[in-house]
Amino acid sequence: MGVSLCGYSSWVFDGLSKGNIATTILFVLGAYVIWKLSYNVLFHPLRKYPGPTFWAASRIPYALACATGQAHRKVLRLHERYGDIVRVAPDELSICSPEAWKEVFGRRKTAVGEIAKDDVHYAEAKDSILGAPKDKHAQLRRILARGFSHRAILDQERLIKSHVDQLFIILNEHEATKGWGNPIDINKLFDFVALDIITDLGLGASFHCLQTGQYHPWAQFFLDALPGIAFATAMKHFKIVFRALMALAPKSLVRKHEDMVMLTNSMVEKRLSEADRPDLIQAMCQPVSGNEIPLSVHEIKANSQILTMAGYDTTATALAGTTYLIATHDSVQAKLCQELRSTFCEEHEINISTTKNLPFLTAVIDEALRMYPPGASGMPRKVGERGDIVLNQYIPANTIISLWQYAMYHNPRNFFQPDSFIPERWLDMKGPTGFSHDCKEAFQPFSFGPRDCIGRNLANAELRVILAKLVWNFDFQLARKADEKNWLGQQKNYLLWERGPLHIRLKRRAGNTL
């Protein structure tokens, strides 16, 4: 029997030309692709959820949107058309309902427990607070939280203030007492001050960007790599393509990445060999209570790396976005100036504690974070093998769930006049206004639940102090209105915003000379 089968197969293949074999293979592959696309649209467990047919059939449209930096806008348009739950890929749902924050990201008492972060996006961060599994994350959170408490940040204030003071020395060189000063790229300066602060706190030494007037090589590599990182992340769902990309990656790029990791690791090692001072590494090294295991040097390095990357870009983005919005809304700038000038007689009175409870400053920052959230992307979670219930609907096993902050905050079902910068919506206003129906629960700029942003206290402190000093000291306006008047609208989002130059002119306020 075996001989006859071998003979038969040999006869078949001998009778086929190479062209026929290729045609047959292509036919089989084509038939499989058609079957797979048809299955995804007609028979997949997520088929009941609305969305574009092409996006339901294949992940390619969604991946291309992410890789080209346009996903935040496209997902918003999909939610405006299809509703709160949209199928954006064969196995992925985007949710734009405010209740989803609690149900997907919150502390869950259901039998299936936490909806975990999607390994495709966070597998490389397992040793850090960004991607650690639940139990390990809880331990890391308890340890790292000590460095981000209000008390700890007050202890760190002297260090933070030294870099803020350096920023304002530079700004004072560009202001004018009469008329407007020379244009200055405030986006770059906010990058510099955020980098100097977080590296001093998280790596044990500052990059000194403000002093040199240049991006540190680590930061330049990070910024240059953003589009590539977004593309590679989008391609992770196509395993063969991703492996090919990794194999074809230039060796020089790989070496540069390794050099940057070695640099930050060596900075942490140097800091560990030095005396204690109030910073994030001190918090990671403090004795732990109970039976907790102290962090290893490897874990300290991994978390320092993550905290530096996250703490730098998000803060700089928020500072630049808020400044742009203030500069383009004269009435907001005047009202904020009035609050600050009536509260502080001298600049030295502006600090972390004194800026904590200023209602209009807080409203301006919140509205800027709503308009221009630093974490605009979807932060994907993955449903476990048993499936789950979200918004009273059964979500099948292994479904990816994303909550796009940009779509959540710009959706007219959640916010009245969502594309308008109106800080007053966050204040308790009497009388009939459309803002009374705003869904404030939708606004979670630091995420939500046990895995929310651990650095929110530090970020808020930096935002309040720097913006308060800026508005207290200066009038400012866009210097290149023709080129940068749509600075927000023209940006792409590669996991993080691709921010371009933002030039402003400064004029010292009347009666406020040094």
Question: Which is nearest to 232 in space by CA: 211, 251, 247, 217?
Answer: 247
Euclidean distance between CA atoms 255 and 258, whole angstroms: 5
Euclidean distance between CA atoms 333 and 199, whole angstroms: 31
Whole-number Cα distances in Å, 259 to 110, 264, 477:
44, 9, 40
- Contact partners, residue 95, CB within 8 Å, separation at least 6: 84, 85, 104, 390, 391, 401, 402, 403
Q: What is the number of other CB atoms lying within 10 angstroms of the CB of residue 53?
A: 12
Phi, psi of 496 (to 5 degrees): -120, 160
CB 115 within 8 A of CB 381: yes
Q: CA geometry: angle at 457 spanning 97 and 69, to 5°?
A: 50
Which two tokens mark 493? 């989002």
Euclidean distance between CA atoms 482 and 171, whole angstroms: 23
Euclidean distance between CA atoms 125 and 140, whole angstroms: 13
DSSP states of 120-173 as a string? HHHGGGTTSTTT--HHHHHHHHHHHHHHHSHHHHHHHHHHHHHHHHHHHHHHHH
DSSP 277: -
Radius of gyration for the alpha carbons in the chain, expressed in angstroms and rounded: 26
| 318 Rama sector, left if φ>0, alpha if ψ -120 to 50, beta otherwise | alpha
The answer to whether 345 is annotated as binding is: no
DSSP states of 192-233 as a string? HHHHHHHHHHHTSS---HHHHTS--HHHHHHHHHHHHHHHHH
CB 309 within 8 A of CB 455: no
Euclidean distance between CA atoms 371 and 364, whole angstroms: 11
CB 65 within 8 A of CB 402: no
CB 257 within 8 A of CB 221: yes
Euclidean distance between CA atoms 368 and 419, whole angstroms: 11
- Contact partners, residue 16, CB within 8 Å, separation at least 6: 24
Question: Which is nearest to 418 in space by CA: 434, 395, 398, 401?
Answer: 434
- Going by DSSP bridges, is the β-strand pair 393-395/388-390 parallel, antiparallel, or unpaired? antiparallel
In the annotated binding site, the residues are 453
In the annotated binding site for heme, the residues are 453
